[in-house]
């Protein structure tokens, strides 16, 4: 058990570092490695959301400190996403076909980022009704899939030219924090149990997430963030397609 926990902790740290560089918290990656470790679905979902909250908190602070966070861009997405993330976290649905479709969309987005990354020119935030509607849909989606929603928001912000790469990462980190927190509350309300995350896993997520978000916020150029985002989308897309 000690060896298994050590390997799982290492995997969680790697996932947290990679995802945090692009403003994400790593839920889809945590779900994959915990599934491979033999944890049950009832344990995995709340544990992944708990790790998400930890890493997203660190990431939000790092990108905020670096000056990339845009409140005016963030709040319309978050306003409707939070209550619907709670609903998604509370409801348990047979979503195999749904997750397959979402996974294919993420893989297509990753291919687009590799082949033709969107530039940062002509960036304009969306109209308020658009961001409110998108936030609602992504909040429900994040709750149903057990993620924070950033895996869907970041590529949308870039492809629609609603934000630059680091602004998108900063907004996504805060978006993930809000949705993961409400999704976790919804899950606890439904199961009447508190999630259990081993201390080494939580520490690895925080430390590695802090290092990754620091690089993303202060060191990595915009193009590097887009390439890393493509890698993250591939991991998340494969996880959803394969059901791992």
Domain carrying residue 159? 2-242
Residue 64's CB: how many other CB atoms inside 10 A?
A: 15
pLDDT of 1: 57
Model's pTM, two decimal places? 0.88
Structural domains in the chain (count):
1
pLDDT of 68: 96
Quick one: tokens of 145?
A: 């899939």
Q: Following CA atoms 144, 44, 33, 100 in sequence, which dihedral angle do they give, to the nearest 10 degrees?
A: -20
Average pLDDT of each block of 10 consecutive residues along the chain (244 residues)?
85 94 90 83 83 95 96 94 81 68 84 84 92 92 78 93 95 92 82 79 95 94 90 87 72
Rounded Cα distance between 23 and 225, Å, is 9
Rounded Cα distance between 1 and 39, Å, is 12
Half-sphere exposure of 133 (CA within 13 A, CB side): 5
């Amino acid at each position: 058990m000690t060896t298994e926990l050590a390997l799982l902790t290492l995997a969680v740290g790697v996932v947290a570092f990679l995802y945090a560089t692009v403003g994400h918290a790593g839920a889809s990656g945590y779900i994959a490695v915990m599934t491979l470790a033999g944890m049950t679905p009832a344990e995995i979902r709340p544990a992944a959301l708990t790790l998400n909250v930890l890493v997203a908190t660190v990431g939000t602070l790092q990108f905020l400190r670096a000056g990339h966070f845009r409140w005016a861009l963030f709040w319309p997405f978050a306003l409707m996403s939070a209550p619907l993330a709670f609903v998604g976290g509370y409801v348990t649905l047979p979503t195999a076909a749904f997750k397959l479709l979402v996974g294919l969309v993420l893989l297509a987005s990753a291919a687009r980022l590799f082949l033709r990354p969107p530039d940062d020119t002509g960036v304009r935030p969306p109209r308020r009704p658009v961001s409110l509607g998108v936030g609602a849909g992504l909040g429900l989606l994040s709750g149903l899939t057990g993620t924070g929603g950033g895996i869907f928001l970041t590529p949308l912000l870039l492809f629609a030219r609603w934000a630059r790469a680091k602004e998108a990462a900063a907004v996504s980190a805060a978006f993930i924090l809000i949705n993961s927190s409400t999704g976790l509350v919804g899950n606890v309300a439904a199961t009447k149990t508190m999630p259990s995350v081993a201390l080494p896993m939580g520490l690895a997520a925080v430390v590695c997430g802090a290092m990754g978000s620091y690089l993303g916020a202060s060191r990595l150029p915009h193009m590097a963030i887009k390439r890393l985002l493509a890698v993250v989308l591939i991991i998340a897309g494969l996880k959803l397609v394969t059901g791992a």
